Structure 1
Amino acid sequence: MNVLVLLAGILFLLMSLIGGRKGVRSFIALFLNFGVIIVTLFFMNVPDINSIILTMIACVAISCINLFYINEVNKKTKTAFISTMITTLILVVFISIITNNAMIQGFGEEETEEMGMFSFLIGIDFVKIAVSVIIMSTIGAITDAAMAIASPMREMQYHHPDISRKELFAFGLSIGRDILGTSTNTLFFAFFGAYLALLIWFKDLSYSLGEIVNSKIFSSEMITILCAAIGVTAVIPVTSWITAYFLVKNNSKDC
Structure 2
Amino acid sequence: MNVVVLLAVILFVLMVLVGGRQGIRSFLSLFLNFGVLFVTIFLMTNPKNSPIILTFIACTVISCISLFYINKTNSKTITAFISTMVTIGVLLLFITFVTEKSMIQGFGEESTEEISIFSLYIGVNFVQIGASVIIMSTIGAIMDVAISIATSMHEIFYRNPSISRKKLFTAGLSIGRDILGTYTNTLFFAFFGGYLSLLIWFKDLSYSIGEIVNSKVFSAEMTTIFCAGIGIALIIPIAACINAFYLIRTREKTEKLL
TM-score (norm 1): 0.97
Root mean square deviation of aligned Cα: 0.9
Displacement of 1:24: 1.1
Are 1:76 and 2:76 matched, yes or no? yes
Structure 1 residue runs of 4+, over 4 Å off? none
Match of 2:44 in 1: 44
SS at match of 1:118: coil
Provide the C-alpha distance between the structure 1 equivalents of 2:157 and 2:209, rounded to a whole number of angstroms. Answer: 50
CA deviation profile, 1:208-248 (whole Å, cap 9, x unmatched): 11111111111111111110110011000000010000011
Match of 2:55 in 1: 55
Match of 2:244 in 1: 244
Partner amino acid, structure 1, of 2:29: A
CA deviation profile, 1:148-205 (whole Å, cap 9, x unmatched): 1101111111121111111111111111011101100000000111111100000000
SS at match of 2:20: helix
CA deviation profile, 1:21-66 (whole Å, cap 9, x unmatched): 1111111111110000000011111111111001100000011111
Partner amino acid, structure 2, of 1:80: A
Match of 1:21 in 2: 21
Partner amino acid, structure 1, of 2:167: E
Match of 2:166 in 1: 166
Provide the C-alpha distance between the structure 1 equivalents of 2:90 and 2:128, rounded to a whole number of angstroms. Answer: 16
Match of 1:30 in 2: 30
Provide the C-alpha distance between the structure 1 equivalents of 2:173 and 2:40, rounded to a whole number of angstroms. Answer: 34
Matched ranges for 1:100-249 at <5 A: 100-249=100-249
TM-score (norm 2): 0.96
**Number of paired residues?**
252
Partner amino acid, structure 2, of 1:28: L
Provide the C-alpha distance between the structure 1 equivalents of 2:66 and 2:43, rounded to a whole number of angstroms. Answer: 22
SS at match of 1:123: coil
Provide the C-alpha distance between the structure 2 equivalents of 1:176 and 1:109, rounded to a whole number of angstroms. Answer: 40
Displacement of 1:141: 1.0
Provide the C-alpha distance between the structure 1 equivalents of 2:19 and 2:221, rounded to a whole number of angstroms. Answer: 33
Partner amino acid, structure 1, of 2:33: N
SS at match of 1:250: helix
Provide the C-alpha distance between the structure 2 equivalents of 1:145 and 1:123, rounded to a whole number of angstroms. Answer: 36
Are 1:67 and 2:67 matched, yes or no? yes
Partner amino acid, structure 1, of 2:106: G
Provide the C-alpha distance between the structure 2 equivalents of 1:70 and 1:164, rounded to a whole number of angstroms. Answer: 31
Are 1:95 and 2:95 matched, yes or no? yes
Provide the C-alpha distance between the structure 1 equivalents of 2:126 and 2:192, rounded to a whole number of angstroms. Answer: 24
Match of 1:11 in 2: 11
Displacement of 1:112: 0.7
Gaps of 5+ in 2: none
Could you tell me the percent identity over the aligned residues? 64
Displacement of 1:19: 1.2
Provide the C-alpha distance between the structure 2 equivalents of 1:126 and 1:192, rounded to a whole number of angstroms. Answer: 22
Gaps of 5+ in 1: none
